[in-house]
Amino acid sequence: MSKEFQNLLKGLPIILALFLVHNTNAQFVPKNDVEKQAAKLVQAYQPDVGMTVEQASSVYEKIAEILAKENAVRSSSASPEEKKKSLMQLSKEETEHIGTILEPKQFKEYKKLKKTLQPVRL
């Protein structure tokens, strides 16, 4: 079995759980590109981080919140320097918050992966 397929299988229960438990209605379907991107990021983190369903749901919510804020910064009329500063601050906020959700070993893996999965860019 290929490594990619194994990773997909590891992350699949988390993604399915996100879709099922996100709303009280148990009817979660990503409504926009930000939610789709957040779900893909959680799925990408899952094989190495090994989040529980509850952790994945909380991480998803924070990532979606930050992605929406990042999009607002990128589309603002701020200078490139101001945008970069704001994006760096949002990335820091996300990392700090996710550090309160994950166990130390998981958080270490998350931080390693974040550099490649979510680089700060304009």
> pLDDT per position in the chain (122 positions), as tens?
666 655 555 665 565 555 544 444 344 567 899 999 999 999 999 999 999 999 999 999 999 999 999 999 999 999 999 999 999 999 999 999 999 999 999 999 999 999 999 999 88
Q: Residue 60: give the domain boundaries.
A: 3-117
Long-range contacts from 64-70, C-beta under 8 angstroms, 24+ separation: 64/34, 64/35, 64/38, 66/90, 66/91, 66/93, 66/94, 67/34, 67/37, 67/38, 68/34
Single pTM value for the model: 0.77
Asked whether residue 122 is domain-assigned, the answer is no
Q: Would 75 be classed as within a structural domain? A: yes
101, two tokens: 């959700």
Alpha-helical runs (H) found in 22-103: 33-49, 53-74, 80-99
Looking at the domain assignment, is residue 51 inside a domain? yes
What is the domain count for the chain?
1
| Domain-located, residue 53 | yes
Classify residue 80: in a domain, yes or no: yes
Query: Within a domain: residue 69?
Result: yes
Query: Residue 26 has which token pair?
Result: 């148990």
| pLDDT value at residue 31 | 81
Is residue 91 assigned to a domain?
yes
